[in-house]
Amino acid sequence: MTPLLLLLILTLLFLTYLLSPLLSRDPIPGPLHARLTSLVIKYHEFTATRTSYIHSLHLRYGPVVRVAPNEVVFASAAAVKEIYCSNGSGYDKTEWYDLFKVYDRRTMFTILGKQEHAKRKRVLADRYANSNIMKGGVMDGIKGRARRFREICERGGREAVDLYIILHAYAFDCVTLHLFHPHSANSLTDPKDSEVMLEVTFDSSLQNRLLSHYSPLLHRLLNSLLSSLLNLKPRETPLADSFVLNTAAETNVSPFTLLHRLHHDLPSSSPDMPQIDKAAECLDHMAAGIDTTGDALCFLIWELSQPSSLPYQRKLQEELRSAGENTPVEKLEYLDAVVMEGLRMFPAIPMSLPRYCPPGGRVIDGHEIPGGTIVSCQAYSVQRLEQGGVFEEPDRFLPERWLDGDEEKDRERRRCFFAFSQGGRGCIGKHLALAEMKCLLREVYSNFTTLPGLKMTEKDMEMADLLVSSRPAGQRCLVRFEKLES
């Protein structure tokens, strides 16, 4: 490197440092390089380690940390409330969400501004209300799929079963039930549908999509090189695309489905949606419902299968077996505590959810933040820091913490529970996801004790970031099922 080039780079870094609006008002803790460049955080994005890197910064610098010249990440209930809940749905989303446009359309998830989002949500929210999910149509369908899942585990006999695959299949079949019944997928038993699920699940387009976001020009220049030499492929899901485009055109669907709402029940205040927007919403919800629920269950069952969790498995089995299968899942307290603790330790979307601090700036958790700064919280850290005693021993899987009977502490815990985000842009599929998780766990732990597969390594279950969600690094989760005596 010539001295002139070096001088130029140093001058640029120094100017970034001086011109950063975050510098003048309120120095935010963080590594020195974060004041000068976003290269380090980008490096962690490209290597799928952003979440754990940010968590390590929180452990070192505390609940507020600067990760780039224009980006700050928080890990506190106060910040969650301000960023995601103020005025109902919090601050606007950043262009990061452009990465998730579907058929080049903006869906509820990718709409950036509040007003437009609120309009779209009015159209879609009713089918995700708990009252709709708990109705016969959805619940019976979920229970049927949970039974199919149990039968597959049973057939495994003494051999370990790869739960990573079949949990994604289960989540795929459940979410398409809610979207399209009777045209839902049946990937637990039908190999053709399974191909669609595998296409969505084994996505390896992280680096390619990041490059297209950060540098469209470089991406255009290098695209074919990336694919051919480095195997960094763009996201391509032709099977899922045509499954959704064809199915979303069906009009003969059950009243509880999202598609029924879109075709026959739009609120009178909403104009008819173009067919491509209906399909885009459906594809988006389908994708949002596969990896999230599948991976949340995968990490949770893996944790429950560890020898240290055997006492929790026993308690769960006792509750489920004494309640019997006619007790509604939402009445099972210990099951609820297990699910909450699973989502606390292994939130399926552990990463920070970026928002713009509004013009004029705001005070977030006591810090003056200029308008235009990218601010966020990540569930992994909000739910794993001690938070003033809210989560004692945060790295221990401890379902009992949700049952300590202390109402004040419980309110605090729930303020820090960020797995589904919070506020008007929180997860619309939350009730569906919880119903799926609970029905499946009931089928499993009413009938089996689960144990880790012998061929698994620690690395297999390490968390690897995708774009917003994360998954087990090994993309496999071998578990053995030991039948309980009836």
Residues at the interface with ligand HEM (CB under 6 A): 108-109, 121, 175, 285, 288-289, 292-293, 296, 347-349, 353, 419-421, 425, 427-429, 432-433, 468
Q: Which of 182, 200, 168 is nearest to 287 (CA)?
A: 200
Give the residue ranges of the annotated binding site.
Answer: 427
Full 3-state SS string of 407-449:
HHHHHHHHHCCCCCCCHHHCCCCHHHHHHHHHHHHHHHHHHEE
At its nearest, how many Å lie between ligand HEM and the CB of residue 80?
Answer: 11
Judged by beta carbon, residue 266 or residue 310, the one nearer ligand HEM is 266
CA distances from 249 to 37, 178, 338 (A): 47, 16, 39
Whose CB is nearest to ligand HEM? Answer: 429
At its nearest, how many Å lie between ligand HEM and the CB of residue 224?
Answer: 31
The C-alpha atoms of residue 383 and residue 351 are separated, in whole angstroms, by 12
At its nearest, how many Å lie between ligand HEM and the CB of residue 432?
Answer: 5
Judged by beta carbon, residue 232 or residue 349, the one nearer ligand HEM is 349
Give the relative orientation of helices 163-180 and 275-304 as an angle to the nearest 10 degrees. Answer: 140
At its nearest, how many Å lie between ligand HEM and the CB of residue 191?
Answer: 24
Judged by beta carbon, residue 232 or residue 283, the one nearer ligand HEM is 283
Give the residue ranges of the annotated binding site for heme.
Answer: 427
Identify whether the C-beta of residue 363 lies closer than 8 Å to the C-beta of residue 60: no
At its nearest, how many Å lie between ligand HEM and the CB of residue 351?
Answer: 9
Judged by beta carbon, residue 75 or residue 428, the one nearer ligand HEM is 428
Helix segments in 102-202, DSSP class H = 114-124, 130-133, 136-155, 163-180, 191-201
CA distances from 129 to 121, 126, 218, 429, 472 (A): 12, 5, 44, 9, 30
Indicate the residue type of 284.
Answer: D
Longest dimension (CA), the chain: 78
Residue 113 carries which DSSP code? S
Judged by beta carbon, residue 146 or residue 348, the one nearer ligand HEM is 348
Judged by beta carbon, residue 342 or residue 453, the one nearer ligand HEM is 342
Residue 96 carries which DSSP code? G
At its nearest, how many Å lie between ligand HEM and the CB of residue 353?
Answer: 4
